[in-house]
Chain A
Amino acid sequence: MALDELLREYNEGHPAGLVGSRRSECGDVVLELSGELEMKAATDIAPLLSAVLHECPARGRLVLDLRGVGYISSTGVGLLSTVMIAAERRSVRLVLLDMPARIRKIMDTLGLLSFFCLEESDE
């Protein structure tokens, strides 16, 4: 299933619209997450991320833009870890873009920050 179709299907089932998407200037898939990445949202979004990951070409990049995420629970952190592992298995580079300070603090407290590739946008 094409990426756009996957996202449309997901967002139809989640009117709050947790996920947006775009392509970076390098052609990377960028998923824009927003809202609260707590237990329910993390559980709901996991299959979508897995499907998107399988659409990414090997040696490509999947960018999760976290600028709009206001809150993350341990389930949310677990989700990012799971996606990271799945991405590495597929030789896809997972990039966390514009991670808010509060999420950074949680990830750092858990000792997981160093495992992720973080990038800041130029804006």
Chain B
Amino acid sequence: MSEDPSRAIDSLEATMELCRHFAQDDSEKANIAAVDVLKRRFGAEAAALFYVSGRREHRFCLAGTEFPIGLGEARWRESVSRAQGGPETARFGPWALPVFGGSLEFWISSKLYSSESDVGYLFLGRSSRPWDDQEELALASIASTIAPIVGIRINREREESVRRQAELLLSEKEKRLRSFFEDSRDMIYTANSEDILTTVNAAGLDLTGRAEKGEVLGRPFSALALNAGDREFFLRRIREEGFIEDYEIVLLRKDGSTVFCLETAHTLKGEKGEIIEVQGIVKDISERIKNEGELWKANLELAEANIKLQQTQVIMVQQEKLTSIGQLAAGIAHEINNPVGFLKSNHVILERYTAKLREAWAEARSAAGQAIGAIEAKFDLPFVFSEFDTIFSESADGFSRIMRIIGNLKNFARIDQGSEFELYDVNGGIESSLVVARNEIKYVADTKKSLGELPQVKARGGEINQVILNILVNAAQAIEAQKRPGKGLIEIETALRGDRVRIIIRDDGPGVPQAIRTRIFDPFFTTKEPGKGTGLGLSISYDIIVTKHGGSLAVESEPGEGTTFVIELPVAGPSPQ
């Protein structure tokens, strides 16, 4: 059938008008405008375009309305079934459009084909007259022209919808990841291959005590660590193994405080295995470490207290022993003081009586004459009388020495003083101590004293004497240990230095090696053979001089050049605490 030229021109104009609408409007409203045109151009009472939108919604656009109308899929399929299958165009009726309007007598439909598939269906309806062949041809022509346009628009909308959906999903994922990153209670960071921080979350700022990300990003991670070197170990491990788990690091906050952290991290590597990025999570474990630290500290304190208690017990026992020895010596001195006293007194009387006897003998000799001379010769009396002076003189000296030793022994222990600080004669104390130590010293060393003029100091004399005795005996034992051919020398000097009395005891023994010089005042430290020393003498001495008397006790020594102990005591006694 040939087409009427005027109708062909109408069809062409209708097609152009439709194309203009589609060109001007990207939205689905263009479909409404299209069916408006078709309704007008074809003199229809109703015109509709059924299609499946890009978002897979089943819709139709009705001429004279404002918006596309959605239909359930079943109803939509039922509606278009008249146009589906069969030829390109169809005429049928009566029929009513879904949702709107009443039934119309005559309908014509046309499929919109695009790329071998239906993209939509056009429906035109009227009751005034049936559709003729020319109209059917015109509709088919228009349909074939606009089908690709409608198809492209639907496809574009479909693609747009898929893209929007993908973007939405991506955005949702990113939002979740961003929330996971930013809201994490632990620090999450990334750093580049040079360990320069490139990302950090809010917890990272809290942990490092920074307010702005700019204070952290762009800086090396090591700048946040208490020990920059610890990061080197971390990087070496992560380069070797690609990950690191539960690595402890201490971060230094901006305010100078520290945070103990546990870090787990891994690397992103490039094709050649080079590190592109370090990604890590850093957890604050300060509370745990603080608790552990407190526990360690408590245990260490307990152990220290325990050992001190044990040492104090031993030292007390040792001090008690020393005190007892001093007291024993003083007790013996006191006991022999009285008999020696009357022996000395009797000795003086005996000397006086002997002198009288000698006078009497001289008188008797001059009165009796020759006879007594024989007796005198027989008993060698001139010699006996001449020895009297020597004997009495030597005995008097012996008595004096005994009395001095007794005095020194009594003075050494100072049992009458108790624990009070009283005036004490340092030089006298040295003399007493030398007497007590004489037996230890006399076979191995000579002594040389240079005692200056000193004021009396406020001290517990018995304790100071113990210190001096201890140093003297140590010096003698050190010299003896050398097994040298001759005797050694122990020098004792005293002098007043400001408000302190200085006692120097110097020996020319083997000296103290540098390695143990700092330890000789430690309790139980001894270099003597077993049984010769407890290692408490100098420890107790240090306690007496430094702790109890507020003085000082120092040692100067070089191996092979002897040892010098310097004691200083405040004249006024220890300062009140």
With A and B bound together, what is the CA distance between A62 and B299 in angstroms?
20
- Chain A residues near B297: list those with CB within 8 A: 110-112, 115
Interface flag for A78 (CB, 8 Å): yes
Contacting pair B307 A88 (CB below 8 A): yes
| Bound Cα distance A59, B292 (Å) | 29
Query: CB-CB contacts of A34-76 with B at 8 A, as 1s and 0s?
Result: 0010110000000000000000000100000000001101100
A102 and chain B: residue at smallest CB distance: B227
**Is B481 engaged at the interface, CB distance under 8 Å to the other chain?**
no
Could you count the A-B residue pairs with CB atoms below 8 Å apart for me: how many are there? 72
B243 shortest CB reach to chain A, Å: 15
Q: Taking the complex as formed, is B357 at the interface, i.e. its CB lies under 8 A from any CB of chain A?
A: no
Contact A112 B300 (CB under 8 A): yes
Once A59-B535, A74-B289 are accepted as A-B contacts, the answer to whether A106 and B250 lie under 8 Å apart by CB is yes
> Does B293 contact A115, Cβ atoms closer than 8 Å?
no
CB distance from B261 to the nearest CB of A (A): 11
Is A85's beta carbon under 8 Å from chain B?
Answer: yes
Q: Is the CB–CB distance between B306 and A109 below 8 Å?
A: no
Q: With the chains together, A74 CA to B250 CA distance in Å?
A: 10
Q: Complex formed: what's the CA distance from A19 to B66 in Å?
A: 88
Cα-based distance from A39 to B292 in the complex (angstroms)? 14
Q: Does A84 contact B (CB under 8 A)?
A: yes
Complex: A106 Cα to B274 Cα, angstroms: 33
Known: A71-B230, A84-B303, A89-B303. A78 touches B296 (CB 8 A): yes
Whole-angstrom CA separation of A39 from B237 in the bound complex: 14
In the docked arrangement, what's the CA distance between A24 and B292, Å?
33
Q: Which residue of A24, A25, A110 contacts B296 across the interface (Cβ within 8 Å)?
A: A110
With A85-B303, A88-B307, A115-B297 known to touch, is A109 a contact of B248 (CB < 8 Å)? no
* Cβ-closest chain A residue relative to B285: A74
Q: What residues on A are CB-neighbors of B289 within 8 Å? A: 74, 110
Chain B CB count within 10 A is highest, among A71, A91, A112, for A71
Cβ contacts under 8 Å, A78 to chain B: 292, 296
Does B230 contact A74, Cβ atoms closer than 8 Å? no
* Contact A109 B227, beta carbon cutoff 8 Å: no
Using a CB-CB cutoff of 8 Å, which residues 475-530 of chain B contact chain A? 513-516, 522, 524-525
Q: B247: shortest Cβ distance to chain A, in Å? A: 8
Does residue A26 face the partner (Cβ distance < 8 Å to B)? yes
Contact B227 A112 (CB under 8 A): no
- Chain B contacts for A109, CB-based, 8 A: 226, 250, 258
Chain A, interface size: which category? Answer: 20 to 34
A111 CB contacts on chain B under 8 angstroms:
293, 297
Give Cα A92 to B505, complex, Å: 32
Which one of A39, A84, A109 has the highest number of Cβ atoms from chain B below 10 Å of its Cβ? A109
Find out whether the CB atom of A106 lies under 8 angstroms from the CB atom of B227. yes
Do B229 and A102 have beta carbons less than 8 Å apart? yes
Question: Are B292 and A74 in touch, CB under 8 angstroms?
Answer: yes
Q: Which residue of A lies closest to B260 (CB)?
A: A74
A84 and B229 within 8 A (CB): no
Are A110 and B293 CB-contacts (below 8 A) given A36-B233, A102-B229, A105-B227?
Answer: yes
Q: Is A81 an interface residue (CB 8 A)?
A: yes
Given the complex of chains A and B, what is the CA–CA distance between A63 and B39 in angstroms? Answer: 105
A81 is contacted by which of B230, B258, B299, B522 (Cβ under 8 Å)?
B299
Measured CB to CB, the nearest residue on chain A to B302 is A85
**Chain B positions within 8 Å of A106 at CB level:** 226-227, 250
What's the Cα separation between A111 and B293 when bound, in Å? 8
Distance of A71 Cα from B227 Cα, bound (Å)? 9
Q: B-contacting residues of A (Cβ < 8 Å)? A: 24-26, 36, 38-39, 59, 70-71, 73-74, 77-78, 81, 84-85, 88-89, 91, 93, 102, 105-106, 109-112, 115, 122
7 A-B pairs with CB atoms under 8 Å apart are A36-B233, A70-B229, A71-B233, A105-B226, A111-B297, A115-B297, A115-B300
A73-B248, A85-B303, A102-B226 known; 14 new pairs, CB 8 Å cut-off, are A26-B515, A36-B233, A38-B248, A59-B525, A70-B229, A74-B289, A88-B303, A88-B307, A91-B307, A102-B229, A111-B293, A112-B300, A115-B301, A122-B514
